[in-house]
Amino acid sequence: MSSHRTPYNQDVRWPLFVVTFLLGAFVVLDGQVPDAKLQAQLKQIFPAATSFSPKGGSPPHFKAFKGDPAAPESLLGYVYWTTELMPLERGYDGPIKMLVGLDTKGVLAGVIVTEHHEPYGRFSVEPPAFAAQFKGKNLRDAFRVGVDIDAVSTATISVTSATRAIRNSSLKIARQFLTPPGTAR
């Protein structure tokens, strides 16, 4: 075999390089800068926000700001995907993807169920009333299905799993970014 390069080898390498570069660019950009649909969802959770950061950090999150993002008092809170923070949490038929907002005082700003495959989803996690019951809920609340979270008898697994994902992902964000009352950071 010779190490002689033929025009065919060169012709294949250039398109391969371009495809590899473009795929790499998509992987780097994916999920970092909010697209129009995600931007609208972020705004739905924090309506007073004037801007949102790109997704980043550990755990991954967006920051919601009002006014100048450089001013510390302009931070309204954090928005995150439950499936990124609690990837093993499953409903009856797989993960329930939710976008959750938490303000700087540990109170849920909102929840949006964006994707699920639950057989009884239209009765349990899909209606806006399911997500709406979490708005204004403090992380110190019980989050008990049937007690302070409305339950649907045919969809207990779905509702319980979604509730656990919301609470546990919110606690993870709070532990990382919020200062408990009465303490200084």
Q: Does 139 have pLDDT greater than 70?
A: yes
Of 29-33, 94-98, 109-113, give the range with the top mean pLDDT.
109-113
* Dist. CA 83–CA 68, nearest whole Å: 30
- pLDDT band at 174, cuts 50/70/90? very high
What are the sequence ranges of the domains in the chain? 36-177
pTM: 0.77
- pLDDT band at 119, cuts 50/70/90? low
Please compute the mean of the pLDDT values over residues 111-117 and round it to a whole number: 85
Question: Which backbone phi and psi does 67 adopt, to 5 degrees?
Answer: 85, -145
